[in-house]
């Protein structure tokens, strides 16, 4: 049995609730509200401590491996999107943790899967490769895009 901390257990439980919300029946009352609340509570739990972001990233990788082994196709795109979202919010990802390399390895296997799995994973893999080369670059690009700083008129040109 794997030893986990209380925080890891709480994050795992919140992640499981988010993923269980994806399997609700179409006739369930307020299915999207429940999914939103589960995701919101997971984000609030993770934001309490910067280390929690790393725990969540590890949990998502573990869940993705499980989804692949158990052929739970419906979980792959949400897990890839959650990983991307969490990585963008992560204040610091230590280079010695090899977390990004592990994610690269796990999500790489989905490139041979049909749409939408391969396209979602392809976007995540490009972001992971950029993050490995230049940590924090994806967040910087996102901020620049949101602030409207990436306009073609403002690019520097060498004559």
Instruction: Answer yes or no: is 159 within a domain.
Output: no
Instruction: Answer yes or no: is 120 within a domain.
Output: yes
Q: Where are the alpha helices (DSSP H) in the chain?
A: 6-20, 31-46, 50-69, 76-89, 99-108, 117-133, 137-146
Amino acid 26: pLDDT: 54
Instruction: Answer yes or no: is 157 within a domain.
Output: no
Question: 33 pLDDT exceeds 70?
Answer: no
User: pTM score, two decimals?
Assistant: 0.77
Instruction: Answer yes or no: is 55 within a domain.
Output: yes
Amino acid 15: pLDDT: 86
Amino acid 69: pLDDT: 92
Mean pLDDT of 48-64: 90
More confident residue, 17 or 34: 17
Counting the structural domains of the chain, the total is 1
The domain in which residue 75 lies consists of 6-23+32-148
Amino acid 118: pLDDT: 86
Question: 131 pLDDT exceeds 90?
Answer: no
CA-to-CA distance for 60 and 56, rounded, in angstroms? 6
CA-to-CA distance for 25 and 95, rounded, in angstroms? 42
Amino acid 17: pLDDT: 83
């Amino acid at each position: 049995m794997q030893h986990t901390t209380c925080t890891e257990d709480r994050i795992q439980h919140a992640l499981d609730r988010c993923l269980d919300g994806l399997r609700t029946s179409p006739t369930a009352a307020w299915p999207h509200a429940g999914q939103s609340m589960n995701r919101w509570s997971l984000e609030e739990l993770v934001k309490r401590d910067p280390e929690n972001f790393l725990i969540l990233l590890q949990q998502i990788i573990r869940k993705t491996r499980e989804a692949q082994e158990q052929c739970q196709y419906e979980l792959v795109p949400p897990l890839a999107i959650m990983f991307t979202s969490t990585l963008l919010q992560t204040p610091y990802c230590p280079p010695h943790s090899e977390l990004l390399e592990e994610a690269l390895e796990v999500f790489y296997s989905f490139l041979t899967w049909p749409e939408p799995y391969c396209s979602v994973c392809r976007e995540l893999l490009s972001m992971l490769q950029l993050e490995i080369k230049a940590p924090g670059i994806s967040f910087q690009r996102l901020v620049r895009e949101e602030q409207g700083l990436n306009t073609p008129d403002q690019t520097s040109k060498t004559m």
